[in-house]
């Protein structure tokens, strides 16, 4: 009697163990998994800032150097056109100066997102929301600069330079019968643009790929920061909102 009852209880216990063991194993595996690490905005910003600082230096040298180059070439060719000893050289110099002026204008209107890096360093990140916004803005600066690099390494600048140089060459050849000067204008315009593309840094694109591999940022964070800044404060009469637009 007692032995039968004992075996019955053992059988029920074994069945319950076999029934519950998959659930218990699943719960054990779930508990063993490490919880996802929270986003550390300050750590991410520190990584971004270490990358952005040298990128900004090389990018600024590229912008400054090519802007100054086009400015000096434009001024020099206009000056040479004014003092040219014959009409042929004057015509070639004027067309070359106009092409250089187009290059100068392109540099002056070209976006340079990293010019906002100094303002980013002054951003108030003392609150969790401020740290999040600072990190988001740093992501935007790196992402946008990588896009600018990608544009200058694409065929688009070379195609545009070929078109504008070809127009100048056509004017010299068809209108002024300056065959050598026309081909020289076309060749120099394409060569200068190719050199400009080759000297554009690649560092932002490489840094952005490494950042994506390391932190996998959400796609919505790489949007331009808004221009509306609001601050909230408590007063004896309630809450106050200050804003700049």
Tell me whether residue 78 is in a domain: yes
214 touches 136 (CB < 8 A): no
Tell me whether residue 175 is in a domain: no
Tell me whether residue 166 is in a domain: no
Tell me whether residue 121 is in a domain: yes
Tell me whether residue 220 is in a domain: no
Count of domains for the chain: 1
Range of the structural domain that residue 119 is part of: 41-157+196-215
Which two three-digit tokens encode residue 67?
């802007």
CA dist 170 and 130 (Å) reads 56
Tell me whether residue 115 is in a domain: yes
For the whole model, what pTM was predicted? 0.75
DSSP 8-state secondary structure symbol assigned to residue 25: H
CA dist 167 and 160 (Å) reads 11
Chain Cα centroid distance, residue 169? 35
pLDDT in tens, the chain (245 residues): 444 443 343 343 443 443 434 444 444 444 444 334 567 999 999 999 999 999 999 999 999 999 999 999 999 999 999 999 999 999 999 999 999 999 999 999 999 999 999 999 999 999 999 999 999 999 999 999 999 999 999 999 999 999 999 999 999 999 999 999 999 999 999 999 999 999 999 999 999 999 999 999 887 666 776 544 445 455 445 444 454 43
Which two three-digit tokens encode residue 30?
């779930």
Tell me whether residue 138 is in a domain: yes
Tell me whether residue 56 is in a domain: yes
């Amino acid at each position: 009697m007692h032995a039968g009852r004992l075996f019955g209880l053992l059988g029920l216990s074994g069945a319950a163990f076999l029934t519950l063991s998959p659930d218990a194993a699943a719960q054990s595996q779930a508990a063993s998994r490490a919880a996802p690490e929270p986003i550390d905005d300050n750590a991410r910003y520190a990584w971004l800032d270490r990358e952005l600082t040298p990128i900004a230096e090389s990018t600024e040298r590229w912008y400054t150097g090519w802007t100054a180059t086009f400015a000096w070439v434009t001024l020099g060719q206009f000056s040479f056109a004014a003092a040219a000893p014959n009409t042929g050289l004057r015509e070639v110099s004027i067309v070359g100066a106009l092409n250089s002026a187009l290059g100068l204008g392109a540099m002056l209107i070209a976006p340079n997102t990293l010019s906002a890096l100094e303002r980013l360093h002054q951003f108030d990140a003392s609150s969790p929301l401020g740290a999040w916004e600072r990190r988001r803005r740093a992501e935007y600066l790196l992402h946008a600069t990588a896009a600018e690099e990608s544009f200058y390494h694409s065929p688009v600048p070379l195609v545009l330079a070929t078109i504008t140089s070809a127009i100048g060459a056509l004017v010299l050849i068809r209108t002024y019968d300056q065959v050598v000067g026309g081909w020289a204008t076309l060749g120099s315009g394409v060569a200068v643009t190719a050199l400009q593309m080759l000297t554009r840094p690649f560092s932002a694109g490489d840094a952005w790929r490494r950042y994506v591999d390391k932190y996998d940022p959400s796609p919505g964070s790489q949007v331009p920061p808004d221009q509306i800044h609001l601050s909230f404060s408590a007063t004896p009469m309630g809450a106050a909102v200050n804003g700049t637009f």
